[in-house]
Amino acid sequence: MRSFLAKYATALAGLGVVIWFAATAPAFASAANFTLILKETSFLAILALGFALALVTAELDLSIAEVASLAAVVCGFLVHSGYPPALAIAAGLGVGAACGLANGFAVTVLNVPSLIATLGMAAIAKGLGFMLTQGVAFVGRWPADFTGLARGNFLGVPNLLWWLILASIFAYALVKWTRTGAHLVATGEAEEASRLAGIPTKRMKRLALLLTGLFAGATAVLLAASLSSAAPNMANDHFLYAIAAVLLGMTMFEPGRPNVPGTLVAAFTLKALGNGLILSGAPYYVQDIVLGAIIVGSVALSAGALGRAAFVKRLSFRTAQ
Amino acid sequence: MSVLVRLGAVTKSYGAVEALRGVDLEIRAGDVLALCGDNGAGKSSLVKILSGAHAHDGGVFEIEGKAVRFASPQDALTRGIATIYQELAVAPRLSVAENVFLGSELVRTPLPFVSLLDKKRMRDEALGYLKRLGVDLGDATRPVERLSGGQRQAVAIARALRWDARVVIMDEPTAALGVAETKLVLDLIRRLKDEGRTVVLVSHNMADVVAVATRVAILKAGRKTVDRPVAGLDAAALAQMIVTGREAA
């Protein structure tokens, strides 16, 4: 029972939140509203899964939102200018991957702590986004080939949710079932011991940060397709949500470790919470306050569950070995 | 006994600090070679060169007569030298099986081009390696942080067996261990020797050296000053040699 609670207490609390809003918030428990929450969860969770992959190797990527915005702008610019959607999608993913690659270079070759390297990348991506758009948004009637990525359904399930399912399976299978995944985890758990055991830890960190960028690019493409527009800073609202989803996710399923099921449950819980607060008539700023409390509370819980400094060390200011 | 590893006039400097000033050392098959010396004598530098953590500056480093130069711990492992560092031997939050197979995980290929971790085989074989060392842990999914200090050493040694290492270097394996745990680790070293493996034991504990080592090499100020069989020595005589850097008269 105790170990069950240690693994699922926060997930149950999330379920409690959903039930509470279903009972009290008008229109919360409708199929339409749940579909909305699930779609919102999809953007957030894909971005968050990327953040989780970097954190698996004990690196932070604080550039995810700005990189996603930049990728969306590039992708949107190409669609807007009439280039084939496939090219625009590839460019969006490519921008995300390139930023992730640059982060990996800064962290493992230049030995800049990821906290700083990715903060720098965030500023660079933001600047480039504004440079490309000159501060305005690309909005238009974009081809259905492109917007269809994020709109419509397949087998009765929203397309967005399919992308999330694919991203989740990829991340889960990579981390849990493959040698590369085992090396990513080992790098994050005990970098020096792993290096001494022959694991190329720097390469693992570069791979993780590259995937984080790629996931940010994927989020960007879906956001642009969903909104038929692209603007610098369009992904900003997802930044704290994504971090909160990963950290809250670390309190469940595999306490103390960034994990896929936890991130998914946490992302849904956070979006349901935000949605429920709005429907309950809470002022918009309540969301931010709650989010901040969840971020701090989650880390306190994880650190408490471990009873050691290891977890806190993982999140603290540090350089690659 | 045949010479497995030979160092000839090996030097290593860190900036202005000359850690090794020309060390000659032979590691013969079947030895339990104790590497002793005061702090700063050069033991750690020597171990780092043998284990591939650092490359040597000058001199020769041969394995079975062939000159080698390790660029990474991986190089040393593939040449049959495994090193167990006291603090860095294991990843505490990973399981016993994950630690034994750290860096050399077993995979299966259920479909062409699809290779997945073979977790069941790793669990079974991890327990098998530990049994060979006389340690019965029962459950290979336990995180290593829940094991005793001696059991953790056993897990680290099991990893060396997994690599089929011919030379196992152990850096202060009994430091910070209690009496019973120390005995367990010394037994592990004897088991390795019985398996025909060669052990290099870096230790400050003279009683341990006398108990398991066959040969002792003493470093002082970056040079090897003593190299002799342990037979006939007691802990006090050894300690005296480390302080003076000379064989007792």
Q: What is the CATH number of the domain that holds B79?
A: 3.40.50.300
Domain that holds residue B18: 3-86+150-244
> Which whole number is the average pLDDT over A52-81?
94
Closest CA to B85 of B157, B163, B5, B188: B157
Query: What pLDDT does A139 receive?
Result: 84
Distance from the A280 Cα atom to the nearest Cα atom in chain B, whole angstroms: 42
Closest CA to A52 of A150, A185, A147, A200: A185
Query: What pLDDT does B80 receive?
Result: 92
Query: Per DSSP, which regions of chain A are E strands?
Result: 138-139, 153-154, 157-158, 229-230
Report the b/e string of B160-175 with b at 16+ CB within 10 A.
Answer: bbbbebbbbbbbbbbe
B6 strand-pairing partners: B26, B62
Identity of the amino acid at A55? L
Domains, chain A, ranges and CATH? 2-315 (1.10.3470)
Q: Are B219 and B37 in contact (CB under 8 A)?
A: yes
Inter-chain touch B85–A196, beta carbons under 8 Å: yes
- B77–chain A Cβ distance below 8 A for any pair: yes
Q: Is the pLDDT of residue A193 over 70?
A: yes
Read off the tokens for B145.
Answer: 């942080």
Per DSSP, B95 falls in state B
Residue B133 lies in a domain: no
Residue B74 lies in a domain: yes
Highest mean pLDDT among A305-309, B119-123, B240-244: B119-123
Q: Which residue of chain B is at minimal alpha-carbon distance from A184?
A: B103
Residues composing chain B? 249
The Cα A163–Cα A142 span in angstroms is 20
Residue in A176, A195, A256 closest to B73 by CB: A195
Residue in A176, A192, A199 closest to B88 by CB: A192
Interface test with A, best of B105, B106, B168 (most A CBs within 10 A): B105
Residue B144 lies in a domain: no
What residues contact A255, with CB distance under 8 A and at least 6 apart?
A: A6, A7, A302, A305, A306
Phi, psi of B218 (to 5 degrees): -115, 130
Residue B167 lies in a domain: yes
Residue B34 lies in a domain: yes
The Cα A291–Cα A284 span in angstroms is 12
Residue B207 lies in a domain: yes
Inter-chain touch A189–B91, beta carbons under 8 Å: yes
Show residues of chain B in contact with A56, CB under 8 Å.
none
Q: Are A228 and A79 in contact (CB under 8 A)?
A: no
Inter-chain touch A197–B159, beta carbons under 8 Å: yes
Show residues of chain A in contact with B115, CB under 8 Å.
178-179
Domain count, chain B: 1
Give per-residue pLDDT as tens, B148-185.
Answer: 888 988 999 999 999 999 999 999 888 878 888 899 99
Show residues of chain B in contact with A307, CB under 8 Å.
none
> How open is the CA angle A215-A218-A221, to the nearest 5 degrees?
155
Inter-chain touch B159–A190, beta carbons under 8 Å: no
Measure CA A87 to chain center: 24
Give per-residue pLDDT as tens, B78-119.
Answer: 899 999 987 778 999 999 999 999 999 999 998 888 899 999
The pLDDT confidence band at residue A304, using thresholds 50, 70 and 90, is low
Residue bearing tokens 């969301």? A287
Inter-chain touch A190–B90, beta carbons under 8 Å: yes
Query: What pLDDT does B248 receive?
Result: 66
Interface test with B, best of A189, A196, A259 (most B CBs within 10 A): A196
Per DSSP, A279 falls in state H
Lowest model confidence (mean pLDDT) among A10-24, A136-150, B59-73, B159-173: A136-150
Measure CA B125 to chain center: 21
Q: Which residue of chain A is at minimal alpha-carbon distance from B78?
A: A198
- B143–chain A Cβ distance below 8 A for any pair: no
Residue B231 lies in a domain: yes
Measure CA A170 to chain center: 14
- Find the DSSP H helices in A57-84: 64-80
The Cα A208–Cα B100 span in angstroms is 24
Report the b/e string of A106-117 with b at 16+ CB within 10 A.
Answer: bbbeeebbbbeb
Residue B72 lies in a domain: yes
The helix/strand/coil state of A20 is helix
Show residues of chain A in contact with B107, CB under 8 Å.
179
Lowest model confidence (mean pLDDT) among A30-39, A97-106, A165-174, A180-189: A30-39
Read off the tokens for A216.
Answer: 């940010």
Q: Are A61 and A103 in contact (CB under 8 A)?
A: yes
Report the b/e string of A67-95 with b at 16+ CB within 10 A.
Answer: bbbbbbbbbbbbbbeeeebeebbebbbbb
Measure CA B41 to chain center: 18
Specify the DSSP element, H or E, that contains A55. Answer: helix A31-56
Q: Is the pLDDT of residue A307 over 70?
A: no
Show residues of chain A in contact with B117, CB under 8 Å.
176-179, 181-182
ipTM: 0.84
